[in-house]
Amino acid sequence: MAMQQAISSTSVRKAPARRHDRGRLMQEAAMLAPAVILLTLFLILPFLLSFWTAMTNQPLVPRPTPVRFVWFNNFIRIFQDDLFWTALWNVSRFTFWIIPAQCGLAFATALLLHQKLPFRNLLRGMFFLPAITSMVVVCVIWGTLFQYPTGPFNQILGFLSGGAIQPIDWLGDPQWAMFSLVLLSAWQAYGFQMIVYLAGLQGIPDELYDAAKIDGANVFRRFWHVTMPGLRPTHVFGLVITTIQAFKLYTQVAILTQGGPKSSTETVVHYMVRAGFEEQKMGYASAVSVILFVIVLVIALIQRQLLRRFDV
Amino acid sequence: MGKRLLWSLVLSSALSAIGAQAAEKTAIQVMHQGDPGFVAAYGKVAERFEAANPDVDVQFIYAPHDAYNEKFSAAVMAKQLPDVMELDAPFLANYVWSGYLQPIKPLIDKDLLDDMTESNIAQGTYPIDKDLYAIGLTDSSVVLYGNKKYLEAIGARIPKSVDDAWTREEFEGYLEKLSKLDGVKWPIDTFRGYGIKTEWITYAYGPILQSAGCDLIDRKAWKSEGTLDSDTCVDALAMMQKWVKNGWVVPQSAGTNQFFAQGNPAALALGGHWVYAEAAATMKDDIVVLPLPKFGAKGASPDGTWIWAITKTSAHPDISGKFISFLLKDKEFRTYVASQSGYPGLKSFAAESPLYAAGGPMAIAFEQASKTAVARPPHPAYPTITSAFMQAVDEVFNGGDPKEALTSAAKKIDQDIEDNDGYPPFGEEQ
């Protein structure tokens, strides 16, 4: 970060000094142009358009009736729709569960794979494998595993408990559906956080461990007083990334539960896609996307403050 | 360098234009859905059509059943509509109102038009201008399949025609008895396994509401509040909720074949006509076909299926019409559809389908078409109507309050109609 600031400040300082050098200025502009054009075209413009669309009754496909400017009607309707609040609540619930599940799993495997194990790199690759497997494929496979009442998960649970645990309707029971999605999602995505944690672990200087050892700290104390503080920025980074990912929950829902049962897995993005493509209300869907944007922005800002505090 | 790139672009596009000319074939695009068997059947029809018309190239665009409307919307936005398209009948009003389809009568062989059954004409007709926009070989219906063994064990009355269908009291009484019968895990399969976001919900469960005496929307005022959230509808949906609560209905996660699965865990099945072929193959003589029960004063059954239309933007409407006519007349195709217990939409095809003829095992299903069939609301707001209803059914089947769920569905439907200024000329004329 400091490096970047230094670079940008020098170029800013140099530019006015060479103002007479038009050729150089043109060169800089030309080099910037591709990025600026692409960013404007594919990021800034669509973004502004969605703000604009959110205030109209724009349908998905052209219709004989005129498109009108409806101001904040879409927003008012969204806030009056119980289903939207359910969706928001569900996503928050999902986030609340997935952070400990996914980051915990990632942290545990990272600690394990940081040891000097035989075939360490092979193991790392294996554990990382789900993260690069397509979510769609993962969903289809897990859909089979979750099957009720005779799916593998239920068989295993029944076998381990000697038949005491009744088969669970993983995806069909409103009490269980979201939890099942948490399990699946944590398993699919923890590989990424694991790599981040591994990098974090490697970033802690060995001297600190040596010093701790000399001071007589046992394994547990070394972990608590050297590893944990050293990983603080990594923890915060994991938190930020996982939260933002969690708020975008969609694929799993679209493939496995379609928001049901009883709206227990409806998410904000799924709600948005449904409004836009099933019910063909583009304006309304855009308004949902704007709200989602604001929510994620607020979370990101809060977490940025956290990052600052930990001096990352 | 820029120039060279430009030139190569010009050259390659010119070359491809020449290539297309050399082939000298007129291409028509056909967008469709269907299971693998039907997809293969369409392909074979196209081969025969191309053999008969060497200057035509039929190109298929497959769109999966569950995402068909989304895919169609994408085609509309990309301005790449196919020439011929298959569409689900209840969406016809929306497509015609939006201006995607053209009247099909002048483009289809006259003998085929004369051959259409009444319900086939109804499913392809736009209610505003009463013109025909689509045609199909088939129509559809839902019946109650029963396992003879189980029904005899509880001494159930077996109706012989649509007119003496079970009443609500009889039906619920039988469900209760069946639930206590040995070997029956679930008294009835309503094919919840199709999922919670499928047209099946509105198609099959809507008639239960209609039979009870209400509807998804008032078909004159085109307003849902006061109709879908009326006490009659609430009561009908509460009744279905009770079946689910009592454990009488096959749960969604148990799959879609519990009626004819090994051991026959389900005694009854509220299933589409297409279930017959599979069920009959495994259950042989144990299967009995019953009319849908009367939940109120009158019976109601669904109709409408996937039918063929020609888009307004088609550059070759005459060839497209020729292809549809060819498809509907194709002998081998008809034999295949009949083998899949296809529900006749043409009189000549009904004659070729012993299944549906008087005395045939599915005769009752065909009888329903003329006596109790109620089309889904032919209104441009149908995409929202069906989506809102699906949402409500999922809510209620999982323990939600029927009144609340239907009120919110009705509100959603009316809002959509309001947003589109009433979809004129719909509100005006009727």
Chain B closest CA to A254's CA: distance in Å? 10
Decide if pLDDT at B77 tops 70: yes
Cis peptide before A100 (omega within 30 of 0): no
End-to-end CA distance of chain B: 65
End-to-end CA distance of chain A: 9
Instruction: Please name which of B164, B119, B201, B123 lies closest in space to residue B366, comparing C-alpha atoms.
Output: B119
Beta strand B287-290 pairing with B142-147? antiparallel
The predicted structure's pLDDT at residue A240: 84
Q: What are phi and psi of B266, to 5 degrees?
A: -110, 140
The predicted structure's pLDDT at residue A299: 87
The predicted structure's pLDDT at residue B152: 95
Average pLDDT over residues A31-48: 92
CA distances from A25 to A40, A101, B58 (A): 21, 52, 56
The predicted structure's pLDDT at residue A1: 41
Which residues, listed in sequence order, are joined to residue B249 by a DSSP beta bridge?
Answer: B188
Which residues of chain A lie closer than 8 angstroms to B398, CB-CB?
Answer: 174, 260-262, 264
The predicted structure's pLDDT at residue B16: 56
Q: Cα separation of B337 and B343, whole Å?
A: 9
The predicted structure's pLDDT at residue B5: 54
CB burial class (10 A; 0-12, 13-18, 19+) of residue B364?
buried
What one-letter code names the amino acid at B242?
Answer: K
Question: What would the pLDDT profile of A129-161 be if each residue is shown by its tens digit?
Answer: 998 999 999 999 999 999 887 889 999 998 998
Q: How confident is the model at residue B147 (pLDDT cuts 50, 70, 90)?
A: very high
How many other C-beta atoms are found inside a 10 Å radius of the C-beta of residue A271? 26
Specify whether the CB–CB gap between B186 and B266 falls below 8 A: yes
* Helix, strand, coil percent values for chain A (each to nearest 5): 75, 0, 25
Decide if pLDDT at B427 tops 80: no
Question: What would the pLDDT profile of A100-126 be if each residue is shown by its tens digit?
Answer: 999 999 999 999 888 888 888 898 888
Instruction: Please name which of B384, B389, B418 lies closest in space to residue B221, comparing C-alpha atoms.
Output: B418
Instruction: Please name which of B269, B20, B288 lies closest in space to residue B148, comparing C-alpha atoms.
Output: B288
- Which residues between 112 and 171 in chain A have a beta carbon less than 8 angstroms from any beta carbon of chain B? 147-149, 169-171
CB burial class (10 A; 0-12, 13-18, 19+) of residue B21?
exposed
Decide if pLDDT at B15 tops 80: no
Q: How confident is the model at residue A197 (pLDDT cuts 50, 70, 90)?
A: very high
Q: Do A174 and B398 touch (CB under 8 A)?
A: yes
> What percent of chain A has a predicted confidence (pLDDT) above 70?
93
Q: What are phi and psi of A66, to 5 degrees?
A: -70, 150
Instruction: Please name which of B8, B68, B92 lies closest in space to residue B309, comparing C-alpha atoms.
Output: B92
The predicted structure's pLDDT at residue A260: 80
Chain A closest CA to B420's CA: distance in Å? 6
The predicted structure's pLDDT at residue B235: 97
Q: What are phi and psi of B310, to 5 degrees?
A: -120, 130
Name the residue with higher pLDDT: A127 or B201. B201
Question: What would the pLDDT profile of B273-283 be if each residue is shown by its tens digit?
Answer: 999 988 999 99
> Looking at this predicted complex, what is its ipTM?
0.78
The predicted structure's pLDDT at residue A302: 87
Q: What are phi and psi of B188, to 5 degrees?
A: -140, 140
pTM of the model: 0.84
CB burial class (10 A; 0-12, 13-18, 19+) of residue A161?
exposed
Residue A181 in tokens: 């999605």
Q: Cα separation of A270 and A253, whole Å?
A: 7
* Chain A, nearest residue to B382 by Cα: A279
Which residues of chain A lie closer than 8 angstroms to B397, CB-CB?
Answer: 261-262
Collapse the DSSP code of A174 into the 3-class scheme (helix H, G, I; strand E, B; otherwise coil) and give the result. Answer: coil
Q: How confident is the model at residue A236 (pLDDT cuts 50, 70, 90)?
A: confident
Decide if pLDDT at A8 tops 70: no
Q: Do B253 and A57 touch (CB under 8 A)?
A: no
Which of B196, B245, B384 to probe the A interface (max A CBs under 10 A)?
Answer: B196
* Chain B, nearest residue to A174 by Cα: B398
Specify whether the CB–CB gap between B260 and B189 falls below 8 A: no
Q: What is the mean pLDDT of chain A?
A: 87
- Our measurement of the distance from residue A104's CA atom to the centroid of its chain's CA atoms, rounded to an integer in Å, reads 15
Question: What would the pLDDT profile of A263-294 be if each residue is shown by its tens digit?
Answer: 899 999 999 998 988 888 899 999 999 999 99
Chain B closest CA to A128's CA: distance in Å? 31
Which residues of chain A lie closer than 8 angstroms to B195, CB-CB?
Answer: 258
Beta strand B266-272 pairing with B186-189? parallel
B196 vs A57, A83, A258: nearest CB: A258
Question: What does the DSSP 8-state code read for residue B164?
Answer: G
The predicted structure's pLDDT at residue B244: 95
Q: Do A83 and B391 touch (CB under 8 A)?
A: yes
Which residues, listed in sequence order, are joined to residue B271 by a DSSP beta bridge?
Answer: B143
Which of B420, B423, B426, B428 to probe the A interface (max A CBs under 10 A)?
Answer: B420
Q: Cα separation of A110 and A127, whole Å?
A: 10
> What percent of chain B has a predicted confidence (pLDDT) above 70?
94
Q: Cα separation of B191 and B258, whole Å?
A: 9
Instruction: Please name which of A249, A258, A293 lies closest in space to residue A91, comparing C-alpha atoms.
Output: A249
How many other C-beta atoms are found inside a 10 Å radius of the C-beta of residue B252? 25
Cis peptide before B64 (omega within 30 of 0): no
Q: What is the largest CA-CA distance in chain B?
A: 87
Residue A47 in tokens: 């973004």
CA distances from A210 to A213, A216, A228 (A): 5, 10, 16
Collapse the DSSP code of A128 into the 3-class scheme (helix H, G, I; strand E, B; otherwise coil) and give the result. Answer: helix
Average pLDDT over residues B302-311: 95
Decide if pLDDT at B1 tops 50: no
Specify whether the CB–CB gap between B362 and B71 falls below 8 A: no
Instruction: Please name which of A181, A211, A194, A42 lies closest in space to residue A106, comparing C-alpha atoms.
Output: A194
Average pLDDT over residues A253-267: 90
Question: What would the pLDDT profile of B370-416 be if each residue is shown by its tens digit?
Answer: 899 999 999 999 999 999 999 999 999 999 999 999 999 999 999 99
Average pLDDT over residues A43-59: 90
The predicted structure's pLDDT at residue A235: 87
